[in-house]
Structure 1
């Protein structure tokens, strides 16, 4: 039986490190699904990507999947998928209109419920600050927040990583009633 695990939290909190730890603990082949696109002109971005690469075991496979996440999840694989990160994936799809985004979101949630392998997802918490001043920023924040909430509702386990500490929200918290838009 496959498991869906969501790891969420703010920037530089240790989300990816915790997700990598969880993936290692499965004892299965890990397929690291990177949603970022490589921009060779952005040296700071390349440095971030390289730090993630260096931390991963050499036995892990890495797939770069900036858009087609649903296809990756719904195609049966041996092992465990570790998807890092949902925020980058949402940013890659900001050009979608609201109707297409809702369809993408529904397809992702359905794919996760039907997944034949373990799936660990890393997501950023971006809605804890001010409301962005620009429409694109508000769209990103709202879409990611809604996505995290919907995945949390179907996940087997939800972790919050903040300040280098891990909280199992599934054990400590109570889920809200189903979300109504």
Structure 2
């Protein structure tokens, strides 16, 4: 479990409805630092289910946490938010990828590089990233679904080795992959 001395980037990944966000929130709270929740979702008043999901996330967070909306400019948000000893909780990379799905491949790669660079240059306070695991089921029947799965999966794979901690949340349990896993050579 994260303590007040833990620093660096922490990745929390897992399938839908596994408890990823709740685990990330618990880690952020345990950091003992002020928290800025970086939301990548775009609100859509026409989508009642989406609105309810966003509201549920808001209700779980302590009132003292700040919220920063960054549906597309995540790199800038990380670079500028909470200079100093602030914990950033970014929820989620999957939504950020979906918001940028129409970028051409070269632009997408450049955005990923910028994200990785800004994470490496961030001061020592923790950055907790929530990411959905894709590809555990049927291969999407549509090109855009395959593109989303490939982009998010590739980004998470690149992030994992760079993180000080990586957790897989499944079935309501968090597994410390740094402690239990074996890194894959690239």
Q: Secondary structure at the match of 2:120?
A: helix
Q: Residue 7 of structure 1 contacts residue 123 of structure 1 at CA under 8 Å; is this kept in 2?
A: yes
Say if 2:137 is the partner of 1:129: yes
Say if 2:60 is the partner of 1:52: no
Stretches of 4+ aligned residues off by more than 4 angstroms: none
Query: Which residue does the alignment assign to 1:166?
Result: 174
- Equivalent of 1:146 in 148, 154, 171: 154
Q: Measure, in 1, the Cα distance between the counterparts of 2:111 and 2:126.
A: 20
Q: How does 1:1-181 map to 2 (within 5 A)?
A: 2-75=7-80, 77=82, 78=84, 79-116=86-123, 117-178=125-186
Q: Secondary structure at the match of 1:174?
A: coil
How many matched pairs?
178
Normalised by the length of structure 1, the TM-score is 0.96
Q: Secondary structure at the match of 2:134?
A: coil
Query: Which residue does the alignment assign to 2:3?
Result: none
Unaligned runs of 5+ in 1: none
Q: Measure, in 2, the Cα distance between the counterparts of 1:118 and 1:155.
A: 10
RMSD between aligned residues: 1.1
- Note the C-alpha offset of 1:76: 5.6
Unaligned runs of 5+ in 2: 1-5
* Cα distance per residue 1:38-63 (max 9 Å; x no partner): 00010010000000000000000011
